[in-house]
Amino acid sequence: MKVTALLIICSCVISGNSGKPQFPEREKDPQFWNTLAQQTLKEALMQQKLNQNVAKNLILFLGDGMGVPTVTAARILKGQLKGQSGEETQLEMDKFPFVSLAKTYNTNAQVPDSAGTATAYLCGVKANEGTVGVSAAAVRSQCNTTEGNEVTSILKWAKDSGKSVGIVTTTRVNHATPSAAYAHSVDRDWYSDGEMPPEALQAGCKDIARQLMENIPNIDVIMGGGRKYMYPKNQSDVEYPNIPKHSGTRKDGRNLVEEWIAKKKDKKGHYVWNKKQVLSLNPNNVDYLLGLFEPGDLTYELERNSETDPSLTEMVEVAIKILRKNSNGFYLLVEGGRIDHGHHEGKAKQALHEAVEMDRAIGRAHLLTSIHDTLTVVTADHSHMFNFGGYTHRGNTIFGLAPMLSDVDQKPFTSILYGNGPGYKLVNGARENVSTIDFEENNYQAQAAVPLSMETHGGEDVAVFAKGPLAHLLHGVHEQNYIPHVMAYAACIGQNREHCIAHDGTAALKPALSSIAALLTVTRFLC
């Protein structure tokens, strides 16, 4: 039966690759679905033998703004990029055996932002919107509410336990998501002191870029954007020397990159700012890596210069190869941060290609680690006012039109729509006729019901995918701040480690299987 299922699936994949995707003939036969369901059932029963090993390594993939509709649409896009109809495709995260839901609200917001949510899934406590690394007792933009309300992150817990730690993001390294891993700031927008009000500086609050260098001084790997926040005000950027908006922003005159280089010069530390530099490194000769590839956020994947700018997948591979040298293991935070930006701009094509690229990075991490000793979690901080519908036919391009006209204004509409955002357009007082424009263009702003200059987040729960040691603890519906507690528990770090030591002093949780056993088990799943 297993062979039959594989043959059926393979025949569908092959047929899906030949020309235009068509309705697979095999799907008309009930035996196809019965066989597929039975095989899935067998695999599900195998998952009942729970992995209770110690998680030597922890990886959190955070798709910023990657709500469930985005996951579904990205799945279809991934398949269609391979010439398939798309709906039957599997994302890498789809293969994870355990899935749960996380409630994303902030302590003071029904619909959250990326700062308060980051504090939840990294520091283990819910917080107010706009604040990072501080409890809900801290008030946004009020510097004097910082002291005494700081909370630490799982990245710090891992570092304190002897693990290597890393941050990889497609946004600025001091953007909301990564900053909650190391900073304590009552305002997520205090990227450098150039963005801070004078009274906050006078009261002793530190900008986020400075905290990146000082709070946890030995973060092993840092990769993303945000160069300009590290350099003195008006200092020209190395890549864009004649563009003032990319110049340094710091008012204190500090060059944080040079300071980092000086501190790491005798510690196998390397600073890089382009793809050639980072990919030419031998990970075995690198203990510390700072990679800042843009003055601000990295470019969208669809616009990325593949000769000069590394992809998220490439950065993740370099990071893991450096971090895994530590015999104590590692913690790695990976953010697909520009999924969120694409949605805010109403540019669904940009957002979904960002999500597909993050899925590639998840696949690469899978090849570089083992499910026996690595707990991998994939989730989102929040959702968006994004969806797709309109009774589209199987295999319809995800960026295409619904198969009928509106029965109200008799005009066509795209399957993808936003509840609000910049895509709201009226032509002569009526809804724009999308058939007259290129709605599959990379930067097309999908139609929205309510006009806004920037589309907003959504408030629904987000999915949490998990695999590896104790992944089954991520089940059901939980508060978002539960996530780092599970990861810390699995790795025997943080506040509750009693379960890790048996009464006789030996490890209570089982150590990971040998590499040979792991390879055999992985082979069984793949074949």
411: phi then psi, degrees, rounded to nearest 5: -120, 155
| Interatomic CA distance for residues 348 and 400, integer angstroms | 12
Annotated ligand binding at 70? The verdict is no
Residues 6+ apart with CB under 8 A from 129: 106, 108, 109, 112, 113, 115, 116, 140
Among residues 455, 451, 411, the alpha carbon closest in space to that of 431 is found at 411
- Ligand-binding annotation for 521, yes or no, is no
- Judge whether 104 is annotated as a binding position: no
Catalytic residue status for 114: yes
Parallel/antiparallel/unpaired status of strands 416-421 and 448-451: parallel
Query: Is residue 393 a known part of a binding site?
Result: no
Task: Exactly one of 85, 100, 114, 311 is catalytic; name it.
Answer: 114
CA 485 to chain centre: 19
Is 367 in a helix, a strand, or coil? helix
305-310 contacts at long range (C-beta below 8 A, 24 or more positions apart)? 306/275, 307/275, 308/274, 308/275, 308/276, 309/274, 309/275, 310/223, 310/275, 310/278, 310/279
Q: Binding residue per annotation — 382?
A: yes
- Report the amino acid identity of residue 456: T
> From CA 429, how far away is CA 409, in angstroms rounded?
12
Q: Is residue 220 a known part of a binding site? A: no
Backbone angles phi, psi at 521, to 5 degrees: -70, -45
For every residue of 8-44, DSSP letters joined together read HHHHHHHHHHSSS----GGGGSHHHHHHHHHHHHHHH
Q: Output the CA torsion 135→141→144→150 (10° steps).
A: 30
DSSP 258-300: HHHHHHHTTTTEEEE-SHHHHHTS-GGG-SEEEEE-SSSSPPP
- Within 10 Å of residue 474's Cβ, how many Cβ atoms? 25
Are the C-beta atoms of 183 and 125 separated by less than 8 Å?
A: no
- The span from the CA of 62 to the CA of 338, in Å, is 11
- Structural tokens at position 37: 């369901």
Query: Both tokens of residue 295?
Result: 């003055």
Tell whether residue 344 is among the known ligand binding residues: yes
Half-sphere exposure of 140 (CA within 13 A, CB side): 15
> Known binding site: residues?
64, 175, 177, 335, 340, 344, 381-382, 457
Binding site listing for Mg(2+) = 64, 175, 177, 335, 344
- Residue ranges for the known binding site for Zn(2+) are 64, 340, 381-382, 457
- Residues annotated catalytic, as ranges: 114
